[in-house]
Structure formats: C-alpha cells, structure tokens
Amino acid sequence: MTTTRGDGSNLGGARARPDVAGPGGRREEAAAGGAVGGWVTTLRRRSTRRYIGWAIVVAVPSLMLRLWAVDALGVNSDEAVYAGQAASLARDPAFLPFFPVFRAHPLLFQSLLSLEYRAFGVTTLGGRLLAVAFGMGTVWLTYAIGARLYGRRVGTLAALLVGVMPYTVVVSRQILLDTPMAFFAALALYLLIRYVQTDRATWLYASAVALGLSTLTKETAILLAGGIYAFFALTRKTRLRLGQAALAVAVLVLTVLPYPISLKLAGHTSTGGAFLTWQLLRRPNHTWWFYLQAVPPALGLGVVAVAVVGIVLMRRVLTWSEHLLLAWITVPCLFFEVWAVKGFQYLLPIAVPVAVLAAMVVVSVPLPQVRWRVAARTVTTAGLRAAVAVLLVASLAVTSWNRVQPDSGGSSFLAGTGGVPGGREAGEWIDANLPVGAELLALGPSMANILQFYGGHKVRALSVSPNPLYRNPVYEPVINPDLQIRQGNVQYLVWDSFSAGRSSFFSRRLLSFAERYHGRVVHQEFITATTDEGPVREPVITIYEVRS
C-alpha cells in the first residue's frame, strides 16, 4: 500500500515482490534488490538536490535584501536606545551616562547583543547583523510552518514571500526588538502546530517557552496568548485540557519572570509602572487609519489580496489550520487598532501567517481544471498558479529593493522604517569638535538619542513635557530652557527637519532661541531632494552655537 504525506510525496515506495526462481537463484534476487536500492538512492539524491536548490532560491534574495547597504545610514532613535542599552550592559563607559539599562522594554535582545559587544566592540553593523540573523531564522520558520500545515510547496513559497517582503526586510535590517520578537513568535506558532497535530503536551509547553522568550524580547508579544485562547475556544480539532492549559500558563509565567525579578533586584520597579502609566495616558501618535494605510503595502497588496480572496472563497471549508493562522493575525490587529499608540513595526508577527495563507491559496485553493486563453496562448491551472506566485514574489522583491537603497532614507520618517540621514555624521562631528562637558538642546528626544549615541555628549530635548503623565519617564524635561541658555548650561542648539515636520511649534521656539542668543551655525548636514526644478540640497540638521 502507498502512503502519502501532507505535501503529496510518496512514502510507501514499490510493493514487495515474490522471490523468482531461475538460473541465477539468489544472484538474480540480489541483482534485483540492488537495482531497487540504486533507484531509491538516485531518487533521494535528486530530491536532496531539488530541496537544496529551492533553499538557495529562498536564501539568496532574502539575505541579499537584508545585507545590501545595511549600514549605509546611521541608526534611528529606537536603534540608538537598544544599541546603547546593549553597550551599557557590556559595561562600556562611553554609553553608561546616556543609556540606562532599564528603560521601557525587557532586555533579552539587548543582552544577546551585549555579548557581541563585549567580544567585538560596539558597532551599529554588529547590531544590525544580529537582527538580520533573526530575520533569516524567521524565513526558515515560515517554511517549517507552511510545510507542516500544507506541504513543502506551500512552505517554500511562504518562506520566499517572507524573505522578500518589504515589511520583514526593512524591519530586520535595524537594531529593533520586533524582529527577534517575531522570530520567537513564529517558533511558538510552529510548536503549537506540532501540539495540535500530535496531541503531545510537550509541544504545548515548548510553545509556551517560545512565547515567553518573545515576551522577554518585547512585552507586546503577550497579545498572541489571546490568539491562542481564541483558537482553542473556536476549534473542534483538539480540546485543551484544563491541567495542560494551567501548566502551559505556569511555564509562560516562569519564562517571563526573570525580567520583573531583575527590575526588583536593581531597584527599578517604578520604571515599569511609570512607563505603563505614560503609555495609557499618552496622546495618539497616528490616525485610526494608520495601519490600513501603512501595513498592507508593506506586506504586499497582492499578498494581502490573495490571502483575503482565498479565505473568502474557502470560507465553507476552512480547517483548524486556517482558524489558527487567522486567530494569530486578528488579535494583535484588533488590539493595536484600538490602542492609541501605533507604530509601523508593531504588527510584524502577523507577516508569517499572512504569507502562509497567501501561499496556501496560490498553491492549493480549489480551481476548475480548465484552460484559459491569455494573449493568444493556452494557460493551464498549474501555469496560472505559477504565474501568480512569480508575480507576487517579483512585486515584493522590487519594492524591497527600492526601500533598501540608501538614498531612500529621506523619503519616509516613520519610526521603524529606516535610519535617519545625517544623524551619524552630525553625532560624529559633535564627538570630534565639541569640548568635554558641553551640553546640547535638540527639538525632540529622537534626535537627542541619536546624537548622544554617536556624539558622547549630553543632549536634552525641548519637546519633553514637564508633566510626568504626558512624557516617557526615561526622558528629562528642560525646565525653563531660556534660563538654561542664559546661565550657560546649554551651549548648542540642534534643529532637525524630521522633528520640525512633526512639531512646528517647538521648531519655531528653538529657532527663536537661536536668534535671541546670537546663534551661529557651526555645522549642517544636507540631503539631496528631488523637486520639479531638479535636485536640491536641503539642510536636515543644523547645529547652532549660542552665547549666554
């Protein structure tokens, strides 16, 4: 009897054949067995070469898009904070005064990065390469999830989609927490699938550990526990026993417990509470439509359309696999849509299930076995599937390639979309030219973080609110900046176009200080902007020296 795997590959092989008596006796039998063995060996070699070939097809563009000019631009604000925390964990004295270890988020990724910094020194390239490694690991896990649910073809296409997807490519090139969080989240999803398929509780507990590691990377990953609950509440595939659920929750709590314990031992328990209060009371930073405008293009409009249309067409025959993937997508989307604070990279964990669903639709959605006439040519169902797959991958790859070009950094100033042009160069100028102990006043904390990371000088932010309910508790407000300048506590002002674009009020205020105290431009950074009249050099960062 022949047995077939989920991916359609034959596991049974040839049927047993009776012994055949003849002149050769056992010699003929051995020859026949040798022929079958040689055929099996040849088949395995061909299969291995085929899988290696597909692995190269997935890995090469995925890695190239993540490594191309990966360190051409300096870090953005969040990158500066996480890299600075890692440097402080590595006990680098140049960063300890500016980047406290305990800030807003857990420290798993920063701790791993600090080991690299201890061994090789603090570099932005090293931090970004570690993020790239987690991104490539997510690509592999996407294959494992797709293959486990729907077969190797779906796994391969899903991995290729995630490998060249603008959302995953752009974020995984930066020193951010979201890429390692998405990696551990994908690992938790894979282990949960193994539990559902085998009904072995060990896989469930392993999934709880992986979800705990994801939460230790960034606390918002705990939302995925809501997706798991929704899946078990709706599915008929398996029933989660109460004892298993309780033990899985205990494992999750034990995995996350080191972070609050470290806060307690370090005497920083108030940090977490202050940050939570600020998050609850802070003003919305984007409109309600932000995610609908920003995330689908980053996932790929074609990928999202294929997944949605396929699910609608298959709505009457959806299985537990689709229910699990949809629950994994829906809960984070609903939470962050309701939550006032929105960030471009916050929904990164949904990229893997979206890609798997789209690949499943392309590879195996039921279609009538007919032929179409397209441009005077006959196209079969298999040809149509291949064409859709190629179009999806090509459109994602072209978009990602355009997004990773260094000269595209000035086109978007969303947090998490890339580095900040001119920030590294301005910080290095500060480090090389300003006297020891000089303090600067920037428009906002984002530019202040960047300049402190590269410049090694104290930079405070004009826009930080003096009301503790409306500011990040990590940032220090500037009480009466006019007096600080008159007393000589601040010697330099920093204006930047990125912060000015978000707050014209504070831009005008800082420029008024520069005019009032005879500000002299001592350094500027420019970008080349394309206008109707041709290329134009525009200042993006200007540093003024002021006199008390």
Find the CATH number of the domain harbouring 541: 3.40.50
d(CA 134, CA 179): 6
Note the pLDDT tens digit of each residue in 381-431. 788 889 999 999 999 999 999 999 887 544 455 555 667 889 999 999 999
Given this model, what pLDDT does residue 467 score?
76
Cβ atoms of 196 and 320 within 8 Å: the answer is: yes
Q: Considering only CA atoms, which of 111, 115, 106, 103 is closest in space to residue 256?
A: 106
Q: Residue 524: beta bridge partners?
A: 542
| Residue 23 is assigned to a structural domain of this protein | no
d(CA 46, CA 107): 45
Q: Are residues 391 and 440 in the same domain?
A: no
Q: Are residues 398 and 429 in the same domain?
A: no
Q: Are residues 376 and 501 in the same domain?
A: no
Note the pLDDT tens digit of each residue in 349-364. 999 999 999 999 999 8
Given this model, what pLDDT does residue 15 score?
32
What share of residues in the chain are helix, strand, coil (percent, to 5)?
Answer: 65, 10, 30
| Contacts with 325 (C-beta within 8 Å, 6 or more apart), sequence order | 353, 356, 357
Given this model, what pLDDT does residue 371 score?
56
Q: Are residues 523 and 376 in the same domain?
A: no
Q: What is the CA radius of gyration of the chain?
A: 28
d(CA 461, CA 442): 5
Count of residues in the chain: 548
Question: Exposure of 376 by Cβ count < 10 A (0-12 exposed, 13-18 middle, 19+ buried)?
Answer: exposed
**Which domain range does residue 124 map to?**
49-405
Q: Are residues 81 and 203 in the same domain?
A: yes
| Residue 294 is assigned to a structural domain of this protein | yes
Number of domains in the chain: 2
Residue tagged 């898009």 (tokens): 65
Q: Are residues 393 and 495 in the same domain?
A: no
Q: Are residues 98 and 53 in the same domain?
A: yes
Q: Are residues 350 and 228 in the same domain?
A: yes
| Residue 356 is assigned to a structural domain of this protein | yes
d(CA 143, CA 163): 10
Give the predicted TM-score (pTM) of the model.
0.86
CB atoms within 10 A of CB 458: 17
d(CA 381, CA 386): 9
Cβ atoms of 268 and 102 within 8 Å: the answer is: yes
Q: Are residues 318 and 199 in the same domain?
A: yes
d(CA 4, CA 280): 53
| Residue 161 is assigned to a structural domain of this protein | yes
Q: Residue 30: beta bridge partners?
A: none
| Residue 474 is assigned to a structural domain of this protein | yes
| Residue 411 is assigned to a structural domain of this protein | no
- One-letter amino acid of 336: F
10-residue mean pLDDT series, the chain (548 residues): 38 35 43 55 65 88 95 92 94 91 86 95 95 97 97 96 97 96 98 95 97 95 95 87 94 93 69 64 77 94 96 90 96 91 92 98 77 58 87 97 75 60 94 94 93 94 82 82 92 93 91 94 88 81 92
Q: Are residues 395 and 459 in the same domain?
A: no
CB atoms within 10 A of CB 370: 9
118-125, long-range: CB within 8 Å, 24+ apart, which pairs? Answer: 118/90, 122/83, 122/86, 122/87, 122/90, 122/92, 122/94, 122/95, 124/71, 124/74, 124/75, 124/79, 124/83, 124/175, 124/424, 125/70, 125/71
Q: Helical H runs in 173-300?
A: 178-198, 201-217, 224-234, 242-256, 258-266, 269-281, 290-299
Q: What is the 3-state secondary structure (H, E, C) of 331-385?
A: HHHHHHHHCCCCCCCCCHHHHHHHHHHHHHHHHHCCCCCCCEEECCEEECHHHHH
- One-letter amino acid of 64: M
d(CA 185, CA 74): 28
- One-letter amino acid of 245: A
Q: Are residues 541 and 439 in the same domain?
A: yes
Residue tagged 């314990």 (tokens): 261
Q: Are residues 483 and 366 in the same domain?
A: no
Cβ density class 139-177: b for 16+ within 10 Å, e for less: bbbbbbbbbbbbbbbbbbbbbbbbbbbbbbbbbbbbbbb
Given this model, what pLDDT does residue 532 score?
72
- CB hemisphere CA count around 323 (13 angstroms): 18
Note the pLDDT tens digit of each residue in 369-379. 555 555 555 56
